[in-house]
Structure 1
Amino acid sequence: MTPVKFENIQALRGVAVLLVVFCHLQAIEQKYSPGATFLPDWLDYAIASVDLFFVISGFVIATVTRGQFQSLSKAGHFIFQRVTRIYPPYWFYSTLVLIIWLYKPEMVNAGQGHQINLLASFLIIPQDLLPLVMVGWTLIHEMYFYIVITVMMPIIPERIFPVLLVLWTLIVISGFLYFITNCDGNYSATVRVIFHPLTLDFIGGAAAALLLNSRILNNDRVIIAIVISIFLCSVIWFNINQSVLKIEGLLRVLLFGIPSLLVVYAAARSEINGTAYFPKSMIKIGDASYSIYLSHVLVLSALGRIWAKMATTGATAHVIMLVVMLLATISVGLLSYRWIEIPILNSIRRWRTR
């Protein structure tokens, strides 16, 4: 029987959030370092962590909704669980950033003229500006995926769910190609989310969960070999055309989404086969990944400003500062998970059982 929770998948969350941290640590180093930068350019590949996160999310949702279709109450339970999992911790950090913005607006969303849309930020709905919590743009895509699944659940028989995933894929691809061909970027933020190719990562993750019940690609070592081969091809292609990191289209999903899908499938399949690839520490980071994800930009930005004022240019001090920033980011995220996220979730559970 397929388990509902996979430790390997939870550890992959840890890998994904650390990749996000390294990606932004590199940006902070470039912005605030008093001397030369040390972090290598190949850390640009850490942007693939977004695809990995979305594939994991699709996998988890398809797993937890198994056997829950054609029931309005179960669909309601599903979306309630998702909303109460996503919003409260996000609101906590959005409020912190709002306080900073009210006190020093020049410190928030510098890339878009320090503008914010308060209502859209707190509701996690499509907008043309970045949310208060910069990484919240990914949560907009998450919520869209949850809403679509919630609408499907009470209406369709579960046996046709794979067919609808195929149709959804075709709709996303067709819509994306139509709008980029005919609209020259002049379409709403909502349309952009609906037809965004990153939705294909969610769909791919859901497909990976469905494939677990089949005998397709049963050998996780073979899958890992395929992943390595595809990733190496992606690296070679990237070195030929480095603009891939700026592409939000189908090419990005092909280069990063497909390897992420196979990694997630291999991790889940290997656990079913009795193999665990990750240490317990990575599972713990995976448990706290949402808190780390929400808090890491705040922590890195604060430490980056301190770093710039210290004006230390020695190599040893530089490396020490990078390590301190990395460890501080993980530590704050773990503490946030223990003292903010878990208490909030426990309070919601107690309220619901009254």
Structure 2
Amino acid sequence: MLISVQFLRALAAWLVVGHHFMQLFFNFEVHNALEYLFVEKGGAGVDVFFVISGLVIFLATADKALTPWRFMLMRVARIAPAYWFYTLLLALLTLAVPSMFPDVQLALGHVLLSMLFIPAQHPAGYGVYPLLDVGWTLNFEMLFYCLFAVALWVRGDYRLWVVAVLLYLVCYLIGPALDLADGFYRNDIVLEFLMGIVIGMLYRRGLCRARAWVPLLGIVVACVMFYHGADVPRALEWGVPSAILVISCVALEPYFQGSRVLKLLGDCSYSVYLIHVLVLCAGLWVVKRTGIDPYAMLPVCIVFTAVGAFASYQWLEKSTYRTLKRWFGIEESAVLSRQKY
């Protein structure tokens, strides 16, 4: 397990939390420099996630006798249960307290498509989003998993090229020709998965090692690129600095090793990502009814998100994964080898 990657997972998740806090509570109105960072740059946490995903999936499958079917079972067992749980929880809460989620409209067909990771127009009319709107990133993740599963038929050194070709075909040729998911997949953000695979290949070849000042300089460069931005496609504006940030932190792995706190924060990051919008919506609902200062509600939301994510990881993610692992017959050795990274 790369602790540096765990740290970045946690950082990315909480950046997204800050971004959505500013969206829900202030409609992206900026009052100071910190708010500006969360409003304008907080969304880059998703790009860091995507680069990390490419890195982790490549490393987890390198030199492993893993069939495409077994790989997909492992990914579904790991990702889907928690997402399904919070999607259904949102649906139930919307039925019970609709005023808490005024932008949510329920439609059975849309709920089912959301659960199946199939992009569809939200019934409320604000774009191609699942019921639990942060799940739009998981739709890309599942596409990447499916294409990477196909690439498992070839040797590890060729998987980057196979995935790249498949992404191009699906996202830029077949998808637009068939008007697949209203053009949802025609998004250059998918290139960030490839960046992660490249970093994984470099790491496997021992090329992510350097004197500490080199990756530290890389982190500074990435932060400067994030801050200034540019009028270019997202994969360049946020994807490239995300890749620089990831490879720089991986090069600093010896300085992260042994930190149980960072490992735990990374472990909980997926649940943080899934649960935080529910918590923020509940917090906003309380603010509107009591007149409490939104900034006084922020630490409450942070605590509830952190505690809820910890409980979710311990008793939802881990327990369901172990149960499904037994059902699917996934060998313990295969799981442990995957978790190495």
TMscore range, shorter length: 0.7 to 0.9
Counterpart of 2:38, as a letter, is L
Contact persistence 1:230–1:259 (CA under 8 A): yes
Question: Given residue 83 of structure 2, which amino acid in structure 1 is its aligned partner?
Answer: Y
CA contact (8 A) 1:8 1:278 kept: no
Task: Note the aligned Cα RMSD (angstroms).
Answer: 3.1
Amino acid at match of 2:239: G
What is residue 136 of structure 1 aligned with on the other side?
Answer: 135
Structure 1 residue runs without a partner (length 5+):
239-243, 245-249
Alignment TM-score, normalising by the size of structure 1: 0.79
Match of 1:281 in 2: 261
Output one character per residue of 1:97-126: Cα deviation in whole Å (capped at 9) or x when no partner. 121333455654727x66670221111112
**Alpha-carbon deviation of 1:279?**
5.1
- Equivalent position amino acid for 1:197 in 2: D
Q: Which residue, 153, 156, 159 being the options, matches 1:158?
A: 156
Q: Which residue of 1 aligns with 2:117?
A: 124
TM-score (norm 2): 0.82
Residue equivalent to 2:78: 85
State how far apart, in whole Å, the 2-side matches of 1:158 and 1:46 are.
Answer: 34
Identity of aligned residues (%): 28
What letter is aligned with 1:302? A
Summarize the Cα distance change of 1:23–1:267 in structure 2 as closer, same or farther, 3 Å threshold: same
Q: Which residue of 2 aligns with 1:309?
A: 289
Q: Any conservation in 2 of the 1:13–1:289 contact (CA below 8 Å)?
A: yes
Whether the 8 Å CA contact 1:29–1:37 is kept in 2: the answer is no
| Letter paired with 1:28 | L
Q: Are the structure 2 counterparts of residues 264 and 278 from structure 1 closer, same or farther at C-alpha, using a change threshold of 3 Å?
A: farther
Q: Distance in 1 between matches of 2:182 and 2:217?
A: 38
Q: AA paired with 1:124?
A: F
Residue 352 of structure 1: CA displacement? 4.0
Q: 1:127 to 1:311 in 2, by over 3 A?
A: same
For residue 49 of structure 2, what is the aligned residue in structure 1? 53
> In structure 1, what residue type is equivalent to 2:37?
W
Match of 1:203 among 188, 194, 202: 194
CA–CA separation in structure 2 for the residues paired with 1:287 and 1:218 = 25
Alpha-carbon distance in structure 2 between the residues aligned to 1:104 and 1:278? 44
Match of 1:296 in 2: 276
- Structure 2 residue runs of 5 or longer lacking an equivalent are 123-128, 331-341
Count of residue correspondences: 320
Distance 1:109 1:164 in 2: 43
Question: Cα deviation per residue 1:58-108 (whole Å; 9 max; x = unaligned)?
Answer: 11000011013xx6x532221111011111111111111121333455654
Measure, in 2, the Cα distance between the counterparts of 1:8 and 1:227. Answer: 13
- Output the CA distance in 2 between the equivalents of 1:162 and 1:352: 28
**What's the CA shift string for 1:28-61, capped at 9, x where partnerless?**
321699xx96762221211000000111111100
| 2:147 partner amino acid | V
Measured in 2, the distance between the counterparts of 1:87 and 1:351 equals 15
